[in-house]
Amino acid sequence: MNNKVNTSHNSVVRTDMGLSIAGTRITLYDVMDYFKKDWPPELIQYWLMNR
């Protein structure tokens, strides 16, 4: 697993699914669920980009 976290800035857009990262189907709710479970950012990024 790559230990570097991409720090480029993505836009957040409002979609029918809720607030999402622009150009993806990843919602902020998806991301927040993992933060609440204390997952490290690198693991969240890996899981979201490889699902």
Give the mean model confidence (pLDDT) for residues 14-32: 91
pLDDT of residue 24: 87
- Residue 2 pLDDT level (bands cut at 50, 70, 90): low
Rounded distance, CA 41 to CA 5, Å? 7
3-state secondary structure of 3: coil
Q: What kind and span of H or E run contains 35? A: helix 28-36
Mean pLDDT of the chain: 84
pTM of the full structure: 0.62
* pLDDT of the residue at 43: 94
